[in-house]
């Protein structure tokens, strides 16, 4: 729990932000950190995957995994070229472009490219059924959709005759993977290959991109879950997003420049967008893309994230894993260390100064009994841990606080850009 300073006010944040949009912050980051890692995803060793876009590198890690990586310069170039390709397709400022993608570099490149062009990105859940896709296309008025691979395109093909407003389908995976039936069922919808249209386009300049966007322009449209009726589109402006990113950093007292994060929750949800996408754009984060949330534990170790946003189920599984592995003979020592860690964390959160002597006494206990479990989870460098969507049991919150991973619970709405700040 943080002690919030009273001088952090809405007015002070607005005064400091001025008129800078997320597009401004993106190009500031590209200029400041051109060679820093921006995006990465697991890939084939020879880089032969067909879901690639723009210029990238293939880099192995210590475990023998191969990663397709994008520097901030490459991220900026690919996004700027995609913006120009949208112009060639006839997409106008304020048009809607739909994204049917998992967590992958192409999502971030396309989302930013849409903003650079002055259009509005609309993410939908990649689990959406054909009928749900049809409703969202009609409701948003999207004329273009970016779909990741054949299984997603097949759903669109099922409803192609019922969505005459959809003019272009941009596929991330090579369209040659589609069956002839699917291609035929798409009818009059123009099929494009993302890799090719980006490679053929000239990049929009940073100056042109900045001039295309104002604080009142839409940054994204997020659709609600539809539990009380049809999903509703929540239109969030550039001002909404920049204010929320700034207030989050101030309220949580973060110094987040260059952090590492794992993106694994759906990008159709505002919380994941805020944490891994928008904060990453502002502060030059290095983002590891995990396309399947059930595999996130396999990505934490190689990434060692500085920040982790997770739903309660993730924290509950981590809690269960540690408790299942603790040797009964070591349980008493572990519980003592956990209690000591909790005591120090609670007093810190209350604003109490912990003496250096007490910290020195705790350090070997932490190193021997607590740190190995943080390393097992891949959270030994985690500085900010957040849980949302539902409350966590008190015992789990206390467990992680004692482990020196203080989890903050957060709540909010799509209409408030996620957290209530």
Q: What CATH architecture is 22-310?
A: 3-Layer(aba) Sandwich (3.40)
Q: Which residues of 365-376 are buried (b: 16+ CB within 10 A; e: fewer)?
A: bbeebbbebbeb
Q: What is the pTM of this model?
A: 0.92
pLDDT higher than 90, residue 420 = no
The 3 state secondary structure assigned to the chain is CCCCCCCCCHHHHHHHHCCCCHHHHHHHHHHHCCCCEEEEEECCCCCCCCCCCCCCEEEECCCCCEEEEEEHHHHHHHHHHHHHHHHHCCCCCCCEEEEECCCCHHHHHHHHHHHHHCCEEEECCCCCCHHHHHHHHHHHCCCEEEECCHHHHHHHHHCHHHCCCCCEEEECCCHHHCCHHHHHHCCCCEEEEHHHHHHHCCCCCHHHHHHCCCCCCEEEEEECCCCCCCCCEEEEEHHHHHHHHHHHHHHCCCCCCCCEEEECCCCCCHHHHHHHHHHHHHHCCEEEECCCHHHHHHHHHHHCCCEEEECHHHHHHHHHHHHHHCCCCCHHHHHHHHHHHHHHHHHHHCCCCCCHHHHHHHHHHHHHHHHHHHHHHCCCCCCEEEECCCCCCHHHHHHHHHCCCCEEECCEEHHHCEECC
Report strand pairing: 218-223 vs 233-237.
antiparallel
| pLDDT per position as a tens digit, 315-374 | 999 999 999 988 888 899 999 999 999 999 889 888 889 899 999 999 999 999 999 999
- pLDDT at site 409: 86
Cβ neighbors of 361 (< 8 A, separation 6 or more) are: none
Given this model, what pLDDT does residue 46 score?
Answer: 60
Residue in the block written with tokens 């420049």: 257
- Tell me the mean pLDDT in the region 215-238: 89
Contact 170, 147 (CB under 8 A): yes
Let me know: does 262 contact 305? Beta carbons within 8 Å.
yes
Residues 299 and 292: their CA atoms lie apart, in Å, by 10
Alpha-carbon span 269 to 306, nearest angstrom: 21
Write out pLDDT tens, residues 152-191. Answer: 999 999 999 999 999 999 999 999 999 999 999 999 999 9
Q: Is 45 left (phi over 0), alpha (psi -120 to 50) or beta?
A: alpha
Q: What pLDDT, on a 0 to 100 scale, did the predictor assign at position 279?
A: 94
Q: Which residues of 274-295 are buried (b: 16+ CB within 10 A; e: fewer)?
A: bbbbbbbbbbbbbbbbbbebee
The residue extents of the domains of the chain are 22-310, 312-419
Separation between Cα atoms, residue 95 and residue 144, nearest integer Å: 9
pLDDT (average), residues 215-224: 94
- Does the pLDDT at position 128 exceed 70? yes
| pLDDT at 118 > cutoff 50 | yes
């Amino acid at each position: 729990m943080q002690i919030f300073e009273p001088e952090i006010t809405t007015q002070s944040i607005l005064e400091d932000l001025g008129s800078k949009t997320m597009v401004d912050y993106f190009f500031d980051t590209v200029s400041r950190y051109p060679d820093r890692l921006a995006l990465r995803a697991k890939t084939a060793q020879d880089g032969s995957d067909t879901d690639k876009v723009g210029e990238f590198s293939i880099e192995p890690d210590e475990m023998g995994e191969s990663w397709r990586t994008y520097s901030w310069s490459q991220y900026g170039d690919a996004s700027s070229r995609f913006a120009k390709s949208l112009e060639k397709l006839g997409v106008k400022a304020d048009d809607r472009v739909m994204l049917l993608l998992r967590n992958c570099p192409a999502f971030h490149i396309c989302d930013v490219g849409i903003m650079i062009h002055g259009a509005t990105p609309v993410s939908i859940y990649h689990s959406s059924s054909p009928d749900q896709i049809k409703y969202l296309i009609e409701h948003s008025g999207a004329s273009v959709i970016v779909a990741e691979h054949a299984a997603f395109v097949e759903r669109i093909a099922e409803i192609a005759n019922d969505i005459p407003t959809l003019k272009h389908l941009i596929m991330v995976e090579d369209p040659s993977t589609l069956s002839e039936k699917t291609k035929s069922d798409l009818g009059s919808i123009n099929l494009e290959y993302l890799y090719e249209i980006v490679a053929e386009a000239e990049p929009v300049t940073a100056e042109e991109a900045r001039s295309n966007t104002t604080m009142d322009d839409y940054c994204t449209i997020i659709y609600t879950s539809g539990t009380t009726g049809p999903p509703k589109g929540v239109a969030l402006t550039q001002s909404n997003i920049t204010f929320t990113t700034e207030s989050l950093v101030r309220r949580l007292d973060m110094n987040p420049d260059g952090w590492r994060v794992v993106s694994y929750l759906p990008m159709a949800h505002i919380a994941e967008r805020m944490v891994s996408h928008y904060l990453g754009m502002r502060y030059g984060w290095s983002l590891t893309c995990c396309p399947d949330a059930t595999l996130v534990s396999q990505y934490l170790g190689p990434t060692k994230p500085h920040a982790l946003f997770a739903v309660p189920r993730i924290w509950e599984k981590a809690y269960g894993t540690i408790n299942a592995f603790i040797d009964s003979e070591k349980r008493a020592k572990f519980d003592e260390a956990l209690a000591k860690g909790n005591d120090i964390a609670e007093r810190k959160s209350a604003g109490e100064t912990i003496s250096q002597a007490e910290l020195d006494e705790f350090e070997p206990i932490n190193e021997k009994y607590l740190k190995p479990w943080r390393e097992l989870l891949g959270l030994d460098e985690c500085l900010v841990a957040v849980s949302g969507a539902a409350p966590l049991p008190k015992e789990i919150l206390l467990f992680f606080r004692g482990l020196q991973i203080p989890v903050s619970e957060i709540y909010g709405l799509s209409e408030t850009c996620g957290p209530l700040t």
